[in-house]
Structure 1
């Protein structure tokens, strides 16, 4: 039976901004975004989830992030 993918969100107020961390429960992959509190929880969660999906797709394709010199 395949385990369902879940995303855990953490919100931290940092000065005039909110840092949102998103963690994938299957892979333990984690990403963070920063946005204004006025954006609202739903929009910030959606943006963090989109970034997490992007990172997971890159990993699945064997691509690595960062700068190669």
Structure 2
């Protein structure tokens, strides 16, 4: 089961919301969430990391590497 070791977190204010990106430095896997700018950075960071863990675990169960690009 994969889990993020070191995570880079980025906060970007976009209008009336905050976009939070979480990137696992080991795998390069990245996820984003959109949150309320009134929420604390710790809360937003925790949600982003939880999503990153979920996505990495889902990808690991599906056979490893995340899918890149679109399949037509």
Same fold (TM over 0.5): yes
TM-score, normalised to structure 1, is 0.83
Aligned residues: 62
Gaps of 5+ in 2: 68-72
TM-score, normalised to structure 2, is 0.79
Gaps of 5+ in 1: none
| Structure with higher helix content | 1
**Which protein, 1 or 2, shows the higher relative CO under an 8 Å CA cutoff with sep ≥ 6?**
2
RMSD: 1.9
Which segments of structure 1 move beyond 6 Å, counting only runs of 4 or more? none
